[in-house]
Amino acid sequence: MDEKPILSIVVPVYNEEENVRLLFEKIRVVCETMGETYEVIFVDDGSRDGTFTVLSELSKQFIQLVVIRFEKNAGQTAAMAAGFEFARGQRIVSMDGDLQNDPNDIPKLLGRLDEGYDLVCGWRKERQDKFLTRRVPSIVANWIIGKVTGVPIHDNGCSLKAYRASVIKQVPLYGEMHRFIPAMSTVVGARIAEIVVTHHPRRFGQSKYGLGRIWRVALDIVAFKFIVSVFAPLSRTQKPSPWQRLSNVLFKPTQRIFRAAALFSFPFFVLGRVLFGSTKIAALSCFGLAIILLVLGWVTENKIRRAKQELTELDTLARFFIFRYNRRPIRFFGPIGVLLFVLGGILSIAPLYSFFFKVFNIAEIPNLSPVLITSGILVFCFGLFGELIAFANAQRVKDYTVEIFLNMNK
Ligand code: UDP
Ligand code: MG
């Protein structure tokens, strides 16, 4: 298949052995009807069932089928990113591999794309999933994502989307950010449209996500906001407003991070004053924190600059923030920071404080709760800066994942 296909369909699959053959057939029928040259890229995300066997058999029969195989499960985002990277078409469509999305919607999506959009999102208006555990959290999440990112899409989680290849290939995807593609693509100035698509209940296999996703999506929203506040004004394709232009001249990205750091330290002063009861200690702790945050901001800024200079190797710190455990990217600003903060908050209530020490039968530690709160916020900030590093390295995160796991059968 030397000729460049016009349309690339990207399908990440993890343990979908009963679905892939049926899905490929459906996609094939739709594409043949449209009369376009096309390729279907199945990204086998380290399936442990017969998915890869079925795909290899199919690929012997059909030249349009491309299979990318990860040796280990690296997650849906990595699988989609690898598919986008290898796609040869000028237009790309992504969809789930579990037959919940309907290939018959592809021509509609492409029609919208050809009207001049860079990204057309599917909206599963009549979603065929459990109401309480799936649809309600999704409605709430989409509303919040719309408010926070300023991109009011009804259904960010719908994988059925069409993209202009030149645009989606620029969008940095890392972690589990495939759920934030619409918002992320505004960073490169994408024009976005939305259409209602069909959705079917899952017939074979199981959903790969549980309720744990709610927590991770919540953290992703925070991360996204932070990333965009630092990176968005830097985007080249987006036309900056006069105010943004002025602020770009006045404040370099470094200074923006520093300003944020300084802002962070003010609440610490108030907090220190209230909790320690002494202005001197409060001022000291605030000063110390500002210094730590400034150093963090400085380190991050350097890492971002180096990432942009196209270094080939990921350095240790970047690797640290991209670290995955069991397909989930580890969130350094998440659980530990929040836990410390909440624990400190609870302990700051006096009767609880004594109760805590009585229960554990230990001598009281002075100022434990402010120390916990402070370290909680610090851990949180540390992770947020790491998130910036991960984002700046996203292009390489992709290479990093793919290089290690990739194995193509063609
Ligand atoms: N998927 C994947 N890697 C993963 C988890 C999921 O490639 O680690 C694929 C999965 O096979 C499916 C799509 O991503 O094709 C969406 O997953 P799922 O249907 O489980 O999500 P849901 O529809 O329940 O949100
Ligand atoms: Mg599904």
CA–CA gap between residue 204 and residue 14 (Å, rounded): 12
CA–centroid distance, 279 to ligand 1, in Å, is 53
Q: Residue 359 has what pLDDT?
A: 83
Q: Which of 23, 12, 16, 18 is nearest to 70 (CA)?
A: 12
More confident residue, 197 or 289: 197
Which numbered atom of ligand 1 lies nearest the CA of 14? 11
Max mean pLDDT among 67-76, 86-95, 258-267, 301-310 falls in: 86-95
Cα–Cα–Cα angle for 294, 300, 306, rounded to 5 degrees? 140
Band of residue 266 on the pLDDT scale cut at 50, 70, 90:
confident
At residue 252, the pLDDT reads: 59
The answer on pLDDT for 133 being more than 90 is no
Mean pLDDT in residue range 332-338 = 81
Tokens of 109: 């999506």
Mean pLDDT across 367-393: 83
Q: Does the Cβ of 10 fall within 6 Å of ligand 1?
A: no
CA of 96 to the centre of ligand 2 (A): 6
Residue 80 Cβ < 6 Å to ligand 1? no
| In the predicted structure, residue 380 carries a pLDDT above the cut 80 | yes
Between these two residues, 289 and 99, which has the higher pLDDT value?
99
What pLDDT shows up at residue 404?
A: 46
Ligand 2 centre to CA of 100 (Å) is 6
Verify whether ligand 1 is closer than 6 Å to residue 75 (CB atom): yes
**For residue 326, pLDDT beyond 70:** no
pLDDT score at 256: 63
Tell me: pLDDT of 20 over 90: yes
Overall average pLDDT of the 124-150 stretch = 90
List the structure tokens of 158: 């719908």
Name which residue leads in pLDDT, 404 or 297: 297
- Dig out the tokens for 215 from the structure: 């927590």
Query: Which of the four pLDDT bands, split at 50, 70 and 90, describes residue 112?
Result: very high
Distance CA 127, CA 135 (A): 7
pLDDT in tens, 188-239: 889 999 999 999 999 999 998 888 888 888 888 888 888 877 776 544 445 6
- The DSSP code for 101 is B
- Ligand 1 atom nearest the C-alpha of 96 is 15
- Of 98-107, 166-175, 335-344, which one has max mean pLDDT? 98-107
| Residue 186 CB less than 6 A away from ligand 1 | no
198 CB-contact burial (10 Å; exposed 0-12 / middle 13-18 / buried 19+): middle
Predicted pLDDT of residue 149: 82
pLDDT at residue 403 in the model: 45
Expressed in angstroms and rounded, the spacing between residue 202 Cα and the centre of ligand 1 is 11
Cα 308-311-292 angle, rounded to 5 deg: 65
**Per-residue pLDDT, 336:** 85
pLDDT confidence of residue 350: 75
**Which runs of consecutive H residues, i.e. helices, occur in 196-278?**
212-231, 242-250, 253-276
Of 9, 45, 96, 158, best ligand 1 pocket probe by most atoms within 8 Å of the beta carbon: 96
Name the pLDDT band for 260 (thresholds 50, 70, 90): low
- The per-residue pLDDT of the chain, averaged, comes to 84
Which residues, in sequence order, are CB contacts of 149 under 8 Å at separation 6+?
180, 182, 183, 186, 221, 224, 225, 228
Mean pLDDT of 304-311: 76
Are 251 and 297 in contact by the 8 Å Cβ rule? The answer is: no
- Site of tokens 């990217």: 329
Question: What is the predicted pLDDT for the residue at 257?
Answer: 63
Distance 14 CA to ligand 1 centre (A): 6
| Residue 311 pLDDT | 63
* 100 C-beta closer than 6 A to ligand 1: yes
392-403 pLDDT, tens digit each = 888 766 555 554
Nearest by Cα to 69 from 83, 57, 88: 83
Between the CA of 207 and the centroid of ligand 2 the distance, in Å, is: 6
Whole-angstrom distance between the N-terminal and C-terminal Cα of the chain? Answer: 10
pLDDT for 358 beyond 70: yes
Atom of ligand 1 nearest to the CA of 16: 11
Distance 97 CA to ligand 1 centre (A): 7
Looking at 123-127, 238-242, 288-292, 361-365, which range is the least confident one?
238-242
pLDDT of 78 strictly over 70: yes
- In terms of Cβ atoms closer than 10 Å to its own Cβ (0-12, 13-18, 19+), residue 146 is middle
CB-ligand 1 contact for 279 (6 Å cutoff)? no
- For 114-138, what is the mean pLDDT? 93
Quote the CA–CA distance of 377 and 263 in Å, as a whole number: 13
Report which of residues 313 and 380 the model is more confident about.
380
> Ligand 1: does its nearest atom lie under 6 Å from the Cβ of 97?
yes
Residue 3 scores a pLDDT above 80: no
- The residue whose C-alpha atom lies closest to atom 19 belonging to ligand 1 is 207
pLDDT reading at 312 higher than 70: no
Per DSSP, 178 falls in state G
**pLDDT at 59 > cutoff 80:** yes
Q: State the average pLDDT over residues 164-183.
A: 91
**Neighbouring residues of the ion ligand 2, judged by CB less than 5 Å:** 96, 98, 100
Expressed in angstroms and rounded, the spacing between residue 13 Cα and the centre of ligand 2 is: 10
Mean pLDDT, residues 23-40: 96
Q: Is the CB of 12 under 6 A from ligand 1?
A: yes
In this structure, of 49-53, 155-159, 297-301, the range with the lowest mean pLDDT score is 297-301
Residue with the nearest Cα to atom 8 of ligand 1? 75
Residue 120, classed as helix, strand or coil, is: strand
Q: Which residues contact 343 (CB under 8 A, 6 or more apart)?
A: 372, 376
The pLDDT of residue 258 is 63
